[in-house]
Amino acid sequence: MALDRFGRKIHYLRISLTDHCNLRCIYCMSEDQVFRPSADLLQDDEILKLARLFARLGFDKIRLTGGEPTVRANIVELVRGISSIPGIHSLSMTTNGVLLPRLAKPLKEAGLQRVNISIDTLDPEKFRRLTRWGKLEDVWKGILAAEETGMAPVKLNAVVVKGYNEEDVIDLAALTIERSWQVRFIEMMPFAEATDVQTQQIITAAQIQEKIESEFGPLETTGKFDGEARIYRVRGGQGELGFISSVTMPFCSACTRARLTADGVLRMCLLREKEIDLLTPMRTGASEDDLRTLILEGIWDKPWGHGLEEGLIPLNRAMNEIGG
């Protein structure tokens, strides 16, 4: 069991498979983002080696992120390898969904259990503006493909940005009336590269909920959390609404996660800059015990929470370089 100094059991690992992406969302990266060469990133065998080590340390839940994880070469075989690791009971992915029409079935067969798909608006023109060159129809086909293959429950992530899509939360919420999907509204968080957008155009979870209730009336509270999301329902709806208020109502006290970046760095808080390099020691001959020590020391020093209230904004990496 891996414990931090506050007694939290850390058992959830988010692995970024690449910093590359096939979209350029305005709140994530600049349009001319330069990506790292593949040789600088964790290779398949290195990811599997670290995943097995984390599993032996008590990690039982893995989420694959990016960049966009589905653009990773050999993604299906990599999923197959991770899903076969003893002790890993939950394997999911956060994706923009663009490549799911052809990948959902093989990923499911390889052992991927669930997907969270990013979709910030149902308006094709706004979608293109937010993603800079994406097509809404591609993502929609990906959502339906995930549902068809049984990767349930289908969860849709929407980051709400002032001046872009705050009015669209009503249409997104309406998806849960006749579908058993979970639509999750996420407060925009400040990072390097897109900090001006992130700090000046934030819409809070409370404002999002108020907007939805202006259309559908008071939401029904379920009294439960799904990970970091507070769960509600539109009255009479089949699905769920989740509100993730990382900025205004942080859930740090219940955080059980660590992040492994695509270039092999362990990051214990999404919004803190401190990192532990695992790739360099691994490539220069570190033993498993050496790596185990580095990981456990990093986990022990996991901070209590972020420093946004004190004006501390992480600037050393953009979101796509961390893996959300």
- The whole-number pLDDT of residue 308 equals 56
CATH of the domain at 185: 3.20.20.70
- The whole-number pLDDT of residue 136 equals 97
* Upstream peptide bond of 303 is cis (omega within 30 degrees of 0): no
- The whole-number pLDDT of residue 167 equals 93
Does some domain include residue 2?
A: no
Does some domain include residue 174?
A: yes
**Residues whose CB is less than 8 angstroms from the CB of residue 318 and which lie 6 or more positions away in sequence, other chains included:** 28, 29, 30, 33, 191, 192, 193, 194
- The whole-number pLDDT of residue 190 equals 60
* One-letter amino acid for residue 52 of the chain: R
- The whole-number pLDDT of residue 4 equals 95
- The whole-number pLDDT of residue 322 equals 65
Domain of residue 237 covers: 12-321
Q: Which two tokens stand for residue 81?
A: 């390898």
Does some domain include residue 119?
A: yes
Q: Which two tokens stand for residue 203?
A: 């819409």
Cα 277 from chain centroid (whole Å): 21
End-to-end CA separation in angstroms for the chain = 24
Low-confidence ranges of the chain (pLDDT < 70): 189-201, 271, 273, 305-324
Query: DSSP letter string over 232-297?
Result: EE-TT-SSEEEEE-TTTS--GGG--EEEE-TTSEEES-TT---EEE-HHHHHTT--HHHHHHHHHH
Does some domain include residue 60?
A: yes
Does some domain include residue 93?
A: yes
- The whole-number pLDDT of residue 27 equals 75
Does some domain include residue 28?
A: yes
In this structure, the strands spanning 265-267 and 257-260 are antiparallel
- The number of domains in the chain is 1
Does some domain include residue 126?
A: yes
Does some domain include residue 232?
A: yes
- The whole-number pLDDT of residue 303 equals 87
pTM: 0.91
